[in-house]
Amino acid sequence: MGFLKWFSDARPAIRRLPSGCFTVDRHGNVMTFTVSSAFHRGTLADIAREVLTLFREARASQMPLAEISLQFASLHITARDLQGGAIIFLSPQNVFATPSPDEARP
């Protein structure tokens, strides 16, 4: 999967990770979004294309998914199927934060 390539660049730079959500239609067109306008729209389209591909491949394998959740070290991506389209949530994670008491319990 090509999720990691979206955040790599030949010239390293410090960038904020995206936060918010967006919806896409069945063709991958971004319809609505709450992600900052400073974040590149092409990357949102790439994320949408990969998410829609995952949902299509799951349906083709007769294992339809209602929701997927991808947890990276510093970014959490959650997507829900919307009858062909999807709503995608992007949540940056603070890897240096101490867990709350509720998260620390096994």
pLDDT single digits (tens) 61-82:
999 889 999 988 788 999 999 9
DSSP readout, 30-85?
EEEE-S-TTS-HHHHHHHHHHHHHHHHHHHHTT---SEEEEE-SSEEEEEEEEBTE
Q: Which pTM was predicted?
A: 0.73
pLDDT at 39: 81
Q: Does domain 17-104 have CATH number 3.30.450.30?
A: yes
pLDDT over 70 at 38, yes or no: yes
